Amino acid sequence: DIVHQDDDAPKIPGCSNDFMLVKVQTWVKNRETDEFVGVGARFGPIIESKEKHANRTGLLIADPFDCCTPLKEKVAGEVLLVQRGDCKFTTKAKVAEDAGASAIIILNNRHELYKMVCDQNETDLDINIPAVLLPKDAGTILQGLLSLGKVSVQLYSPDRPLVDTAEVFLWLMAVGTILGASYWSAWSAREALIEQEKLLKDGHESSVNIEAEGSTGMVDITMTSAMLFIVVASLFLVMLYKLMSHWFVELLVVIFCIGGVEGLQTCLVALLSRWFKPAARSFVKVPFFGAVSYLTLAVCPFCIVSAVLWAVYRRMPYAWIGQDVLGIALIVTVIQIVRIPNLKVIVSAPWFMLSMQ
């Protein structure tokens, strides 16, 4: 929402840029490191939109750090890192430009972004270097990187497409998962019903065995359980907001991996049992788990290894693939197991949630 226009930040001559999100890619000793997202200023030139056309420039800390008075030393085209406060944004940009800087990165004193605008009575707005504001936590990381050695940065503001292909892909993946899981659940129930009808035709003994085999594994959602789920989920979100820390994130990763292993195992066993029927119908007793098929035992190590590999490499650029696979498998399993018996439960849950709000 930072890029949306508003009446509190009007445009004036020399200060009429649109608010744009700016990516700040960093390198330490020519090794690519973190990337931060800031917001461009109303004043100054338009920031390059193509990453390949953006220049990689050295980063220096301004002296004085607030960049409100002339710098003690001139710079040769580097990007200056300065602190917010003590003077106007335009003043900082002018001082940095007079010192020879090619751009200025201003660190906010809060953890959110802020729109850099001009005062209505400002007239000297001939600023020829771009200005970018970064949140406080990004500034802390940047200062830490500067202590490790020479830091270079690249500033660019990618164009926002009319249709974001990533959002379209996410929508298709989400809807496709729900439709596929629902169809699979209905198909499995139909196959089970056909199998039961065949066994019932064989005689009374078979029907008794069917009843003795136990439940179908389905879980019916009642009105009480639906409302309880909303309350528990709301409390969990509050805990997530209040207790967001390293250990809590690691706990969520562990919980997700456990659910992902269960979901992936259920989906793989259901798919492979059509080709490996003897292994799927042969069981062995396992302590604490009871009767487990040989096919499940064969698939389980693969599922555990997959979840562990994702947890270890989840910060890699390609880790989203494993995360989506585990998440989709978990959702498919839940949709196959959980059954909403009537329309009353479906309608009552959203109304209960609205009443809580």
Task: Please give the pLDDT value at position 111.
Answer: 81
Domain assignment of residue 292, given as a range: 165-184+222-341
Task: Please give the pLDDT value at position 335.
Answer: 80
pTM for this prediction: 0.57
- One domain, residues 170 and 102: no
- One domain, residues 175 and 324: yes
- E strand map for the chain: 21-28, 31-40, 56-61, 79-83, 103-107, 131-134, 151-156, 219-220, 283-286, 290-293, 338-339
Domain count, the chain: 2
Would you say residue 309 lies in a domain?
yes
Contacts of 226 (CB under 8 A, 6+ apart): 345, 348, 349, 352
Would you say residue 211 lies in a domain?
no
- One domain, residues 22 and 110: yes
Task: Please give the pLDDT value at position 15.
Answer: 81
Task: Please give the pLDDT value at position 316.
Answer: 86
Q: Please state, rounded to an integer, the average pLDDT across all residues of the chain.
A: 80
- One domain, residues 130 and 174: no
Would you say residue 322 lies in a domain?
yes
- Which residue ranges of the chain lie beneath pLDDT 50? 204-216, 353-357
CA distance 243 to 253: 15
Task: Please give the pLDDT value at position 308.
Answer: 92
CA distance 41 to 112: 15
- One domain, residues 83 and 117: yes
Task: Please give the pLDDT value at position 305.
Answer: 92
Polymer length in residues for the chain: 357
Cα–Cα–Cα angle for 303, 261, 349, rounded to 5 degrees: 155
- One domain, residues 108 and 170: no
